[in-house]
Amino acid sequence: MRSSTLVGDVAKRRFEFDWREPFLLFVRVRLKPALMAPVLAFFLFQFGFMVYYTFIMIEMQRSYGFSTAQIGLFSMVMGCGFVAGTSFGYKIAKKLLGADTRVATVGLAVCGVLVGLTALPMPASVQVVLTMLIAISNILAFVTLLAAIASAVEESEQGWALGVGNASVALSVFAAGLLSSLLSIIPSAAFEILGGLLILSAIVPTQHLTATDTKAVTAQ
């Protein structure tokens, strides 16, 4: 009874939203040099993919005449690719390639090249197949890079370190959205090429990763 009373007497911390928190997380990365490589790789990778995701939807509607329902089905195919990559794609790649750095590198290379190819003229059916393959290869890089972020800090610090990864995704979505304002002067194909190049550029910091074994990270 006494212990429960003491627990009840403890003042609960009130939740306060601070818009600066995502930016403060990036500042904290400077204090952990081991985080620099995986965070940079993850940001470049996510930024490139978000550029692709934003502009391929526009391209499928403008150039291929997809209706709203067809765009939804196109997104569903991408989702199926994520499921396939999570269910067996990563496991197969890990078994064949071994080290996480190799898995991440192959995932980034395949994803980046395929994203760049989407800028070429091709039938809509090929675009559908490509988005499935892009999603599968995306998972290879997503799981390993996120695990590398977690592995770069002590277990007690993994929460805020993974928060940096989430902040990178949010920043990538924001930046990709801003780029859409340039569609009136730059064709969407150019942005798809940009997306592929950004993903490929993430290979450079990936080579500096020190984590060799992926910890339990849930792909989303």
What residue segments make up the domains of the chain, in order of their start? 35-206
In this structure, of 19-33, 82-96, 101-115, the range with the lowest mean pLDDT score is: 19-33
Tokens coding 33: 């040099």
In this structure, of 21-35, 85-99, 131-145, the range with the lowest mean pLDDT score is: 21-35
Average pLDDT of 52-61?
Answer: 92
pLDDT exceeds 50 at position 197: yes
Q: What is the pLDDT of residues 146-190, one digit of tens each?
A: 888 888 667 766 676 677 777 878 888 888 888 888 888 888 889
Please report, rounded to a whole number, the percentage of residues in the chain having pLDDT higher than 70. Answer: 76
As a three-state string, the secondary structure of the chain is CHHHHHHHHCCCCCCCCCCCHHHHHHHHHCCCHHHHHHHHHHHHHHHHHHHHHHHHHHHHHHCCCCCHHHHHHHHHHHHHHHHHHHHHHHHHHHHHHCCHHHHHHHHHHHHHHHHHHCCCCCCHHHHHHHHHHHHHHHHHHHHHHHHHHHHCCCHHHHHHHHHHHHHHHHHHHHHHHHHHHHCCCCCHHHHHHHHHHHHHHCHHHHCCCCCCCCCCCCCC
Please say whether the structural domain 35-206 has been given the CATH code 1.20.1250.20: yes
Give the pTM: 0.80
Band of the pLDDT at 219, cuts 50, 70, 90? very low
The pLDDT score that the predictor gives to residue 10 is: 45
Rounded to whole angstroms, the Cα distance separating 62 from 24 reads 39
